[in-house]
Chains A and B, each alone.
Chain A
Amino acid sequence: MPSTRDIRRRIKSVKSTAQITKAMQLVAAAKMKKAQDQATNGRAYAETMNKILVALKEAAEDAAHPYFDEGKGSKTLVLVIASDKGLCGALNTNLFKKLLASKLEGDVDYLTIGRKATQTLGRLRKNIVADFPIKDPAKFTDLRAAGNFIQERFRSGEYKKVLVAFNNFINTVTVVPTLEQLLPVDKVQLGGKRSYEDPKTADVHAASKLDYTFEPSANAVFEGILPQYVNNTLFQMLLEARASEHSSRMVAMKNATDNAKQMLKDLTLEYNKVRQAAITSELLEITTAKLALE
């Protein structure tokens, strides 16, 4: 049986742990609010752009722009967006599981955002081409370097396609690890389900699969829009990942705090029991000693 002193020591340590996790939970909650707003507000723009471009891809003639067709090479480039810090539950683990389960064919090169991605892929001896550290909160200008790098590599024809693995933010407790194709342009899922799987909008686009007039020319329009599209979509993916990260951390820390509180309760109960038992036995000893003396 542990002594009261041992239990007291444990109570103290659990208490301070609970305090720390509580503080971390509050910090994550504050960041989460911002990140969630940013992610949900940006979604409409990225989704609409994707919708338009997918429609245009079907309407435009072949080889209208290099971003609409697979590259000449056989390799695949995968950008993995994970978090910089841990203590966010199974967020990163689930993402890597999804990535490894997807069984990409041929040679795969990796780009990483976030320290956890670099570490894990490094441990798995994957070929990491470049790492782009991006601070929190994410700024659009920070992402440009990654966006331009990807476009440069894709244009060189080295890669067949470019994929992005990131966590899609659905709500505070639901986060879905996702692997989406960035290039060549394809339907991309951001947040909840693909909005254009909605039959109504699908019909509209089936009907409008007619010819589009381009002003001034198809090439000029695509040349102006596609690089922007890539950077924008990437940014939205990063926002989704960041919102997921903060939400997961908040939830993980809340669970930790709750667990610590439960443990405190149990320990306090045990402590009181031990204390009472000690008092009882002491009393018994005194009474027996007194009786023996009489």
Chain B
Amino acid sequence: MPLKLEIVTPEARIFSDEVDSVVLPGAEGEMGVLPQHANLVTTLNHGELFYTKGGKSNHLAVGEGLVEITGTTTRILTDMAIGVEDIDEKAVEEALERAKTALEAIKAKGHSTGDEEVAATMAMIQRSTAQLHVKRKRRTL
């Protein structure tokens, strides 16, 4: 009994195929999904997602989102999903630095610019951190 995994971001359908198992960062910690899993809906946190297929595992960095699990499918909606090979460590580090500086700038200006800008920058920082974390962890293995 295969498990269908679908990963969709606003930009594209990143992944859609049958896999053996999925491990994802759920709202209450890391969670493994096998075929015939009970129906479950949860939110997705920043972090590392990996799925195995035919003994090989693939790792992705994911952002916040929604997870719907039924016995046969796992649907993941997230604002970011990048394969570990596609993460450009230097570029991400630079982006993280930029986001941090931007956050400082916003804080220095006070709250006049509104919470949304802060939230967007925070999300950027979290996304970058998640990517770096996944990349570095994979490299040491």
- Residues on A lying within 8 angstroms of B by beta carbon are 41-42, 44-46, 48-49, 52, 55-56, 59, 141, 144, 204, 208, 210-216, 218, 220-221, 224-225, 232, 235
Contact = CB atoms under 8 A, between A and B. Distances in A.
Q: Tell me which of A45, A220, A221, A224 has the highest count of chain B C-beta atoms within 10 A of its own C-beta.
A: A45
A56 B12 CA distance: 23
Main secondary structure of the interface of A (DSSP, over half): helix
Given A45-B9, A141-B120, A215-B26, A204 B42 contact: no
Nearest to A211: B39
B38 to A, nearest CB: 6
A216 B11 contact: no
A37 to B, nearest CB: 10
B116 to A, nearest CB: 6
B43 A52 contact: no
A45 to B, nearest CB: 5
Given A41-B12, A204-B72, A220-B27, A49 B42 contact: no
Contact of B11 (A42, A48, A141, A213): A42
A46 B71 CA distance: 23
Interface of B: 6, 8-13, 26-28, 38-43, 66, 68, 70-73, 75, 77, 116, 120
B91 to A, nearest CB: 21
A243 B29 CA distance: 40
Nearest to A46: B10
Nearest to A210: B39
A48 B77 contact: yes
A56 B41 contact: yes
A144 B119 CA distance: 13
Given A48-B75, A144-B116, 4 more contacts: A52-B77, A204-B73, A221-B41, A232-B10
Contacts of A216: 27-28, 42
B38 A213 contact: yes
Contacts of A44: 8, 12-13
Q: Tell me which of A141, A144, A214 has the highest count of chain B C-beta atoms within 10 A of its own C-beta.
A: A214
Nearest 10 interchain pairs by C-beta: A215-B42, A44-B13, A208-B70, A213-B40, A212-B39, A45-B10, A52-B68, A45-B8, A48-B8, A212-B41
B12 A49 contact: no
B40 A215 contact: yes
